[in-house]
Amino acid sequence: MKSPILLQAEGLQKQYVLGAPKLFGKRAVLNAVDGVSLYLREGETLGLVGESGSGKSTTGRLILRLLEATAGQVHLRGQELLGLAPRQFAPWRRDMQMIFQDAGASLNPAYNVGQLIEEPMLVNHIGANHADRRERANDLLQQVGLKPEHRTRHAHEFSGGQRQRIGIARALAVRPGLIVADEPVSALDVSVQSQILNLMRDMRERHGLAYLFIAHDLAVVRHMSERIAVMYLGRIVETASAADLYLRPAHPYTQMLLAAIPRMGPEAANARRLRTARASAAQELPSPINSGSGNACAFRTRCPRRQAICGSQAPVSREIAPGHSVACHLV
């Protein structure tokens, strides 16, 4: 039994118009997100991976309306959100929370931990009175592995991992159905990273959350997600179940990303040699300026299997197996 669809984004687009290079020159357009569609079921985790500049964070922010989309639609529990007036949108914002990469910077330094967690409840009219909210905050602190005594301390008194715990408690305070987690562990040390990942999985079970899990670390995304979408230059190039994506990556870019991950264990030295022989992953992400909506595949400049058609026609995403879609001419 599949749970109902919680979030559906259709054709999301974000364009930035840059200054003209010359007076009266044509203004350059940067397509940060260029027609992204995705869905998320209740209680599900969708991983969003890609290199920096691929538009994965922008996609997360467009869904939350922290950035206004140039075009596209976002449906949450069937309600279209991007067209709503701010006042009507406010209650929906409660349902979608965010966890940030730099937990320290996302917490108000002047508030103590208790205030940090209680304020969103106050704003969203959760809890009948102060005592109620306080009790809920204490309960949340314990759930995320902190102590109620910590409520009088400030964010700077905590380590990076503990700050991320506070950020999670704060996001949970308003009972969201969806959490957009933007690189939640990439600033943390390895030993702490695994604690936070475990905590996020526990909280998902306990609160029935869905995560949009944005990260550049494919091993972490694989660990956290049921399904994964791979982004390249503002577009989703491949979507598949986590297991499928790792066992049968279809898009050349996904294959390149996977091959670039350093392996551990006995096969490490061999993996290196194999890869050097393939001389893969040449070049870097091209500039997204004026790249979009042309008649070509955005990946062609780096693609080892490039053909004539890749330069003349943009590939359309199609399903190659149940739940596995790829945007590539050669698959």
Position 285 contacts other proteins (CB under 8 A): yes
DSSP bridge partners of 71? 13
What separation in angstroms does the CA of 35 have from each of 15, 262, 290? 11, 31, 15
Position among 15, 112, 143, 195 found at the interface with other proteins (CB under 8 A): 195
Residue 281 binding other proteins, by CB under 8 A: yes
Tell whether residue 218 is a contact of other proteins (CB under 8 A): yes
Number of residues binding to other proteins, judged by CB under 8 A: 46
Cα dist. 237→108, 205, 228, 314, 317 in Å? 37, 30, 11, 11, 7
User: Considering only residues 9, 144, 230, 242, which one is a binding residue for other proteins as defined by CB under 8 A?
Assistant: 242
- Asked if 142 touches other proteins (CB under 8 A), the answer is no
Q: Which of 57, 106, 162, 325 binds other proteins (CB under 8 A)?
A: 162
Is residue 46 involved in binding other proteins (CB under 8 A)?
A: no
Does residue number 243 form part of the binding site for other proteins (CB under 8 A)? yes
Residue 226 C-beta: closest distance to other proteins, Å? 10
User: Between 216 and 306, whose beta carbon lies closer to other proteins?
Assistant: 216
Report if residue 289 touches other proteins, rule: CB under 8 A.
no
Q: How many CB atoms within 10 Å of residue 86?
A: 8
State the nearest-atom distance from the C-beta of 112 to other proteins, in Å. 20
Residue among 289, 198, 212, 165 nearest 47 (CA): 212
Sequential DSSP letters for 290-311: TTTTSSS-TTTTT-TT--GGGG
H/E stretch holding 74 reads strand 71-76
Distance CA 68, CA 52 (A): 21
Which residues bind to other proteins, rule: CB under 8 A?
Answer: 51-52, 159, 161-162, 189-195, 197-198, 201, 216-220, 222-224, 242-243, 246, 256-258, 260-266, 268-269, 271-272, 275-276, 281-282, 284-285
